[in-house]
Chains A and B, each alone.
Chain A
Amino acid sequence: MAIQQPILEARDLTKRYALGETIVDALRGVSLTVQPGEFVALMGSSGSGKSTLLHLLGGLDRPTTGDVILGGETISDLDDDAATRLRRDRTGFVFQFFNLIPLLDAAENVGLPLTIAGQDPRRGEAAERVRDVFELVDLGGKQHHRPDQLSAGEQQRVAIARALVNRPAIVLADEPTGNLDFTTGGEILEALWRSCAQRGQTIVLVTHDAKAAAYADRVEVIQDGLIRDEIVLGRRADHTTTALIARLAQLGL
């Protein structure tokens, strides 16, 4: 893999917040680079700080100290409006719980970032993009189903399509399979994988599940607000977990 300009760079991030009376250091100095087209997994147990890191990377939250640089632009000191525009145009999010707007149908949900940006997702190039991502997540024909008419897996794939629709620089997925059974979780991961493998989509995935992490090119292990280890798996199509689990076991995880 040739040396490229990283698409995403985190430099010495710390995040401290107050939980009632106690001060919590969620991140204690995390640095990370992601190359274009990379699929990176952040692994760790509950409370390790992996979700906090994802929020900082996507501009949902601001670090206490440190910088996040997306596509050459420092985003960690942007004001709320600028951070919002950045999210709208450059990032896509997938959350654990099926984050669809129940009143909108699948196509409308997918078109949401376009709608927010003032485009009509039913017309022209925008409509083309919506159709395209529907194909990618294998949901062709379900455009006009409402969220309550879709299965849990289908709902999450709609959420992935929404994250992909404005061709973001990076897709950030926070435990997208956490709420799903084994098989359905697999469909989700396949969809993410396809976008990475076929479209060169950069993805950062947060998970505590080795099966999900096995889809990644590289796994960053987070513990107590620090990156404990890096496991490079390389690009593979078999997604076997054996090697990963062996490494994790060595780390005592």
Chain B
Amino acid sequence: MTGLGRFAWRSLRARPLRTALSIVGIALGVAVLFAALATDAGIEAGVGRTVDAVMGQSDLRIGAFEERGLSQSSLAAIRATPGVTVAAPVLEQQTYLQRDPLTTSDATAGAYGSPVTVIGIDPAIDGTAAGIHDLQLAAGQGLTSGGAAEALVPASLAHDLGLGISDTLTILGSNGPEPYRIVGLLAGGGPDPTAAGRAVVVPLASTSALFGSRGASWVDVRLADAATVGGVIAELDQSLTFEPYVLSDRADLAASLQASTAGFQALTALIAAVTLFGGAFLIFNTLSMTLSERVREIGLLRAAGATRRQVHRLVLVQALILGVAGSILGLVLGFGLSILIVRTVGLLGDRGVPIDGPIVPPQGVAFAILVGILVTLAAALEPAIQAGRISPIEALRPAQAGRRSIAGQLRWLAAVVVTVGVAGLAFWPIALGPFGVPGSGTDAAGIGRPLLVYAVLLIVTLLTPLVLGPLGRLASLPFALFLPTEARLSRGSLSRDRKRTALTVGALTIGLAMIVALGGLAGSAHAATDAWLTDVIPGDLVATSIRPVGAAEGVSEQLAAVAGVARVSPIARFAVAFRGVRLDAAAVAGSDLGADGRLTFLAGDRRAALIALDAGGSTIVPQAVADEFGLQVGDTLELPVGGGEAVDERIVGVVARGMPGQSGEAILIGWSDATSHFGVLGADAFAIRFAPGQAVAAGPALAAVARGLALEPTPLSGIESAINDAFDRLFSLFDTLALLAVLIAGLGIVNTLTMNVYERVREIGILRAAGMTRRQVWRMVVVEAGTMGVVGAFLGCLAGVVLGFALGGVAGLGSSAGGPTIPWLRIGLAAAFGIGIAMLAAFQPARIASRISIVRAVQFE
């Protein structure tokens, strides 16, 4: 065996370029896989850290159901509940900081532009050893109890703002700016990782000056050692009857955070699997190439007494060497790649989960190496079997390019597909976490989509050898226009070894399919965002408020009084509980939506529904919600409103899209119900529609009035582009990974072409002797590659469009409605890229071919 092992090593060393290509191929596959795993571990750690930071030392969170928050009496009732040892109230509110042009420099202007999260705590509880939320100070001191206007700021934020201890921080409250003195700097990003370092901690008692008489957003509770979460919940059910509340524990929070990252993880995993697939092609090609060159040598070995088993082992040892080397290199590359991913993505999902790391998961290292080696060995299986079949007689007869059966091709493909598929299935549960893709409801559906993708790619790969002939002829037509001779002569070589060509083209196809599919997804995500907002928002711009604006304040009227404004419609977003699940809801004025012509009704009478909405007792639900819960017009939603009571809302219409909510689409409820039943105090946004042609003229005046009313006006296009920017960042990352897959396919083409060239050294010699110039030989190989490129591009774009439709709504990336778009521009670019890569890959093989010595070629036997 050691002798044969050395033989294997030597044969790899004899062709260093090809060996290097194969190693790089498998390395890139393992790299993407490992990067996905490391990022995954980083996401898990980020989720864990967020849960820790958000929940602190608490066991249970009692959230306010209504906007006015939990009252002092609720807090007292919670504290009095048996089993509760500590109850820490927290108020969280987004607002802006005001810049003082006299004391701050222009360099810090940017730091004032984005919103900050004001976190009100009780300094008597938090910040002490007995507290629930750990506030680690980098400098200065903690907050004093008593409600003085003191603030703790993360050190990094203070630096960005150009402020230090004892400086004044001006926070915009609902009644105007309020000065706070910075007493301490927090270590790290502050208490809430989802605020991305832009958090300001102040005493809860001081927030009434900022936001009026709002109660705590939630109360975090620590339980006595003897108490159980269930027991305390039962107690609360008895004692906390005067205000509705929402309970959540660590597991709930972790689940919702993980759900918001699952789409990302699933897609990363998918691309990793696809890339690995490409790597497997490369390994297969390398090994069969080595074999076809060594048929006689192996024949001699067999004649000299080597058994079939020994020959099998010889090939598998070669594969093992390639697999191990590739996997190790892949780990290094993958670590670099995961750093890139973490830097690019930063915060993930609508909950803003930070990715830690990259973290190197020990089991991930083992897993990546194992998968790398397994895939390599699977790819080597067929070449090993072929090698074993070589009879000793082969050594005595001239080499003849044998044709292999279709059954053999299918068998090999099936082996690789099954291996990669099994590896993928083992990997997906890790990637997805136990929660599946949100919106799809169950784990099965979460795995279903990647499986679907896999099936599409498999079918395309299996079909490739069958359609290769006719497609190849079609694909060579454009080349025949310019280089008829070369096109004619290269035509046949695609069918020289159909399996090899099919695999080469297959790798290219899959990479391009991913690029096109991602383009389709990104396109439909964009289109969906645009269509969604235009479909439901009755205005050209949205003015948002940091506090609920009551109808009695007359803000709506003041905005409507600006010349050129046609309509102002108040909107409030809140949440309701339905069948134990949190559901986004929006308070809207049905008359405004009707007059503005918004909402696409799929069921129910438009006019009647909108009138009923304003009248109360009615709701309009988006199709996504209707589908999820199996609802239709005429059904009644029983929505709990606290105190053990519930209101009934009858469904009067189903619309294509609802208002954008926090984690999905919101159901629509009339203003009268929202204020009387659901504790909505006022609008948090106003949709403003200009009179036709007045938008440009009226814009500045309206912006001035809005800012005077402490509203932030944002054009609809601004909201769209903000959402789209987030998509783009994510998709650019996926694109990079998919490009890697195409790159691997490019390496595969180099391999295949080189092999084709070596196999016909003699033929090329004859062609040269018969009068073919070096340039013609060179062009012939390039045309051959171009034809493969065209076939791969065609199949890849086709599969990509199908995949785009199939992937349609990977949650968190695109939404279910709106339908996928066909990304023509991207198809064009992907096709050009694929063909370009293919022809570029031909460079070296073409050079080899054109330099073949005629004299040696025709004498060589």
A interface residues, Cβ below 8 angstroms from B: 51, 55, 58, 60-61, 80-81, 84-85, 87-89, 93, 95, 97, 99-104, 112-113, 115-118, 162, 174
Contact = CB atoms under 8 A, between A and B. Distances in A.
Contacts of A88: 770-772
B768 interface: yes
B855 interface: yes
B762 A99 contact: yes
Contacts of B489: 115-116
B855 A60 contact: yes
A81 B772 contact: no
Given A55-B855, A99-B762, A118-B484, A80 B770 contact: no
A117 B776 CA distance: 10
B775 A87 contact: no
19 contacts: A55-B854, A55-B855, A60-B854, A61-B854, A61-B855, A84-B768, A88-B772, A93-B770, A95-B766, A97-B398, A99-B762, A99-B765, A99-B766, A101-B767, A103-B495, A112-B770, A116-B771, A117-B771, A174-B858
Contacts of B350: none
B717 interface: no
A103 B484 contact: no
B627 interface: no
Contacts of B488: 115
A102 B401 contact: yes
Contacts of B231: none
Nearest to A84: B773
A97 B861 contact: yes
B859 interface: yes
B493 interface: yes
Given A60-B855, A95-B858, 6 more contacts: A84-B768, A97-B858, A99-B766, A103-B495, A116-B771, A116-B772
Contacts of B401: 102
B858 A81 contact: no
Contact of B493 (A95, A103, A162): A103
A97 B769 CA distance: 14
Contact of B859 (A51, A58, A162): A51
A60 B767 CA distance: 12
Given A51-B859, A99-B858, A116-B485, A60 B769 contact: yes
Given A101-B763, A101-B766, A115-B485, A81 B775 contact: yes
Contact of A84 (B495, B765, B772): B772
A81 B769 contact: no
Interface string B761-801: 01101111111111110000000000000000000000000
B496 interface: yes
Contacts of A102: 401, 763
Contacts of B768: 84, 87
B492 interface: yes
B437 to A, nearest CB: 49
A84 B858 CA distance: 15
Interface of B: 398, 401, 484-485, 488-489, 492-493, 495-496, 762-763, 765-776, 854-855, 858-859, 861
Contact of A118 (B485, B496, B763): B485
A84 B774 contact: yes
Contacts of A101: 492, 763, 766-767
Contact of A113 (B484, B496, B763, B770): B770
A80 B774 contact: yes
A44 B496 CA distance: 38
Nearest to B492: A103
B778 to A, nearest CB: 12
Contacts of A58: 769
Contacts of A51: 859
Contacts of A162: 770
B311 to A, nearest CB: 26
A162 B770 CA distance: 9
Contacts of B769: 58, 60, 87, 93, 95, 99
B770 A87 contact: yes
A99 B770 CA distance: 11
A60 B776 CA distance: 16
A85 B773 contact: yes
B774 A103 contact: no
Counting from the closest, the 5 A-B pairs by CB-CB distance are: A88-B771, A103-B492, A84-B773, A99-B766, A87-B771
Contacts of B772: 84, 88, 116
A111 to B, nearest CB: 10
Contacts of A95: 766, 769, 858
B770 A116 contact: yes
A81 B771 CA distance: 9
Contacts of B765: 99
B627 to A, nearest CB: 56
Contacts of B766: 95, 99-101, 112
B257 to A, nearest CB: 60
A113 B771 contact: yes
B533 to A, nearest CB: 59
Contacts of B492: 101, 103-104
Contacts of B493: 103
B858 A116 contact: no
A174 B771 CA distance: 17
B853 to A, nearest CB: 8
Contact of B771 (A55, A85, A97): A85
B744 to A, nearest CB: 29
A152 to B, nearest CB: 11
Contacts of A112: 766-767, 770
A84 B771 contact: yes
Nearest to A117: B771
A115 B854 CA distance: 19
Contacts of B861: 97
Given A55-B855, A60-B854, A99-B858, A81 B773 contact: yes
B495 to A, nearest CB: 7
Contacts of A116: 485, 489, 767, 770-772, 776
B462 to A, nearest CB: 24
Contacts of A85: 771, 773
A112 B493 CA distance: 15
B495 A89 contact: no
Contacts of B774: 80-81, 84
A100 B760 CA distance: 11
A113 B768 CA distance: 10
B766 to A, nearest CB: 5
A174 to B, nearest CB: 8
A100 B774 CA distance: 19
A162 B771 CA distance: 12
A214 to B, nearest CB: 25
Nearest to A88: B771
Contacts of B763: 101-102
A100 B765 CA distance: 11
Contacts of B771: 84-85, 87-89, 113, 116-117
A115 B762 CA distance: 18
B29 to A, nearest CB: 33
B407 to A, nearest CB: 21
A61 B858 CA distance: 12
A113 B492 CA distance: 17
A142 to B, nearest CB: 19
Nearest to A90: B771
Contacts of B855: 55, 60-61
A87 B774 CA distance: 13
Nearest to B769: A93
Nearest to B484: A118
A115 B485 CA distance: 6
Contacts of B484: 118
Nearest to B491: A103
A196 to B, nearest CB: 21
A233 to B, nearest CB: 28
A8 B765 CA distance: 24
A106 B559 CA distance: 87
Contact of A80 (B398, B767, B773): B773
Nearest to B853: A61
